[in-house]
Amino acid sequence: MLYDGGPFDALATTTNTDSSVLTYPVVSGPCVVVSGATLNSTGAGTCVIQANGTATANFNSASSAQQSITIQPASAQYETGAGTVNSPAGSYPANPSYAGTSSITSLYARHTLDGTSMIYSANTVKFSYTPASLSFAANYTQFQSLVMSGNRSWLRGTGNVVIAGITTTNVNFLVSVVDSTSSAAVDKVRVKLWKDQTVYYDNQPGAPDTADAATNASGYTVIIFR
């Protein structure tokens, strides 16, 4: 599989008829458990995961089995853009009546040249939403993943959000893009900012994080270089 190709699932079975539940801890390598049997890559290399089953009334604990998964370096694809994005009512949960447009003043995202990490010095995201006096920024040390599929992308990481002069650190961000493939179409861009259970901004509220961007940009240009 390819680094930053998106989440992947571990697969194992057990003969325990009391319970089929297995856990999949990471033994070593560039991957992390997202939830249950779903994992994600954090770089290129060999990821070793282990399947464990607990003892039940009629069965002993399952013998641990390991599997090695080779994760290839990411491709040289990257994206860059800037401009305004539609911000419908409900985008700012602290005051759902706010609407209008938000701004991405800077966006550049790519993997390192060897395709093994996101620590590329030019990587940056800067975003603002004037009605809420909100601004957000993340630099290359805070980028976590960039998944690209054709003209679609999902960029994730953490950064700092400032609302009315108050700064909150380690805020998660998602910037997903659908790059228009014809001059008559417009790009679609989603921006989501959240920490724990608090959503600070999301111009596609309620949509799963893996969804395609569906909010029309206005005066926005993004280019995904494939």
AA letter at 105: T
Reply yes or no on whether the pLDDT at 85 is more than 80: yes
**What's the whole-model pTM score?**
0.73
Identify the pLDDT of residue 151. Answer: 86
Mean pLDDT for the chain overall: 86
Q: Of 7 and 145, which is predicted with more confidence?
A: 145
Q: Categorize the per-residue pLDDT at 118 as very low, low, confident or very high, splitting at 50, 70 and 90.
A: confident
Q: Does position 7 have pLDDT exceeding 80, yes or no?
A: no
Split at pLDDT 50, 70, 90, the class of 75 is: low
pLDDT of residue 17: 74
